[in-house]
Structure 1
Amino acid sequence: MLRETCAIRYVTPLREGGSLPGIVEADDLGTYVMKFTGAGQGRKSLVSEVICGELARRLGLRVPELIRIRLDPVIGRGEPDQEVQELLKASGGLNLGMDYLPGSIGFDPLAYRVDAAQAGRIVWFDALVNNVDRSWRNPNLLVWHGDLWLIDHGAALIWHHNWPTAAASAARGYDASDHALAPFGPDVPAAAAELAPRVTPALLAEVLAQVPDEWLADEPGFATPDALRVAYADLLADRAATIGERVTVGAPTPDRASQAPGWLTGRPDQPSGAAR
């Protein structure tokens, strides 16, 4: 289970995208980027963050520590921004924290080189979880102490927004043409050979055990949180076995509106779902 702490001070919002995460200080003296259950995408975004982040970590990719973080909405009373106040009021209880990496900078392909092996591992992982939000428009990669760190996986696992069609959605391939690391010649076959055998039932069970029951409860079609965990594990196991053969890297699309969902981009004119 992820370790747990309590937020004691709301510091500032981070206004990239539509989820409005915020920087908070906690009673363990740590500083975290907090993602809220009351945000527009709801708890499924937090489920995706935990599954993807903890899976990536176990596959040897760098992800900031994820924690369970309790919020008392009273800490937002002094916040002058009405939107932030409403978000805090709607998010009392258990939320998700990500370790804040002080001094980190956003990934710039012109300033930071990535070898084909590392690029391949990240592209293969994003294909596994169907991450639609690591494109050249919005890499969601940080450079910290000279290393590459993966962040923001709330838009992955797109199929869990519609479980009746999840199997068909998860069976699709992955177009990495717009991926932030596509220009580095990612060696996806080598990554698949290395990583796919490590996505075992035991590993998936360990990862899914990190997701709090209350974020999995009351999902239509599933009697218990554990039944839902099994559904996630089955889809990821099936996808891991073959997704390396179904990754395509072509020419990037022209600069145009992102195909990510509107709740992610913060633009109401964007579509409510994304296909990849």
Structure 2
Amino acid sequence: MLPEVTATRYVTPLREGGSLPGIVEADDLGTYVMKFTGAGQGRKTLVAEVICGRLGRRLGLRVPDLVTMQLDPVIGLGEPDQEVQELLKASGGLNLGMDFLPGSIGFDPLAYEVDAAEAGKVVWFDALINNVDRSWRNPNMLVWHGDLWLIDHGATMIWHHNWPGAAASAAKPYDASDHALAPFRPDIAAAAAELAPLVTKELLTEAAADVPDEWLVDEPGFETTDALRRAYVEPLLARAATIHERITLTAPSKPRPSQAPGWLTGHLTPWPHPAEAQKAAGE
């Protein structure tokens, strides 16, 4: 089970996220990025965050620690921003917190190099969970103390938005052409050889067990929350065995402008995408 804390102070919103997460202090003296049940994306976003975040950590990837956070809507009464106030009022009860990484910066491929082994693991993991939100447009990765950290897994496992079609959706390939780490020649075969054997039914069951019951109740087609948890396990288990064979990596849709400051990018050479490098070499 995830540790449970209680929110004591809402600090500031993070407007980069579509669900308007916020930095919140808690009664354990920790500071967290809080994602709210009252946000427009709904509780399935939080379910995906928990399952994929816990799975990523169990596979050795850097994902911030997760907690559940009790929120008293009264915290929102002093907020001057009407949008934030309404969000807090709509999110009373149990929400999700991710450990805040102070001083971290957004990942930029022109400012931070990733070796092929690590890139391969991240791409393989994103293919497993069908993460559609780790592209050059929105990397959802941070660099903290010199290491790469993965955040924001709410836009994953899209099959859980349509359970009758889950098996067919989970069997689909994964296009990594626009993945933020595609320029680093990700070693997907090595990643699959190392990580796929770790994705067992027991491991996935443990990850799904960390989702609070109240985020799973009343799902159409499932009589119990345990039945719904098993439904999350099955597609991921089947996908882990063969997804490396169905990852495509071609030229990106268009070049990504660097977000790094000019004083830094002026001294860096852009990393060529593998497909473009092969074309330039006449292969």
**What is the TM-score normalised by the length of structure 2?**
0.89
- Report deviation, 1:213: 0.7
- Report deviation, 1:111: 1.1
Does residue 131 (structure 1) correspond to residue 131 (structure 2)? The answer is: yes
Match of 1:96 in 2: 96
1:25 maps to amino acid: E
Q: Indicate the SS of the match to 1:77.
A: helix
Deviations 1:203-245 (A, max 9, x none): 0111111110111111100111100111110110000011011
Alignment map for 1:53-72 (pairs within 5 Å)? 53-72=53-72
- Report deviation, 1:10: 0.4
1:173 maps to amino acid: P
Q: Indicate the SS of the match to 2:78.
A: coil
Does residue 44 (structure 1) correspond to residue 44 (structure 2)? The answer is: yes
Separation of aligned partners in 2, 1:216 and 1:120? 32
Alignment map for 1:162-181 (pairs within 5 Å)? 162-181=162-181
Alignment map for 1:126-165 (pairs within 5 Å)? 126-165=126-165
Deviations 1:108-160 (A, max 9, x none): 11111001000000000000000000000110000001110000000011110
Match of 1:114 in 2: 114
1:122 maps to amino acid: V
Match of 1:224 in 2: 224
Separation of aligned partners in 2, 1:6 and 1:97? 10
Match of 1:4 in 2: 4
Match of 1:252 in 2: 252
1:48 maps to amino acid: A
Deviations 1:147-202 (A, max 9, x none): 10000000011110111111111100000000000000001111111100100011
**What is the TM-score normalised by the length of structure 1?**
0.92
Q: Indicate the SS of the match to 1:98.
A: strand
Q: Indicate the SS of the match to 1:96.
A: strand
- Report deviation, 1:17: 3.1
Separation of aligned partners in 1, 2:91 and 2:106? 28
List 4+ stretches of structure 1 deviating above 2 A: none
Separation of aligned partners in 2, 1:126 and 1:244? 11
Match of 2:191 in 1: 191
Match of 1:25 in 2: 25
Separation of aligned partners in 2, 1:221 and 1:239? 22
2:82 maps to amino acid: Q
Larger-Rg structure:
2
2:252 maps to amino acid: P
Separation of aligned partners in 1, 2:22 and 2:96? 11
2:71 maps to amino acid: L
Separation of aligned partners in 2, 1:29 and 1:163? 39
Alignment map for 1:70-89 (pairs within 5 Å)? 70-89=70-89
- Report deviation, 1:255: 6.3
Q: CA RMSD in A?
A: 0.9
Separation of aligned partners in 2, 1:18 and 1:233? 27
Separation of aligned partners in 2, 1:233 and 1:225? 13
Separation of aligned partners in 2, 1:110 and 1:208? 36
1:164 maps to amino acid: P
Match of 2:239 in 1: 239
2:129 maps to amino acid: V
- Contiguous gaps of at least 5 residues in structure 2: 257-283
1:241 maps to amino acid: A
Separation of aligned partners in 2, 1:22 and 1:151? 14
Report the CA distance shift for 1:231/1:120 in structure 2 as closer, same or farther (over 3 A).
same
Separation of aligned partners in 2, 1:26 and 1:68? 11
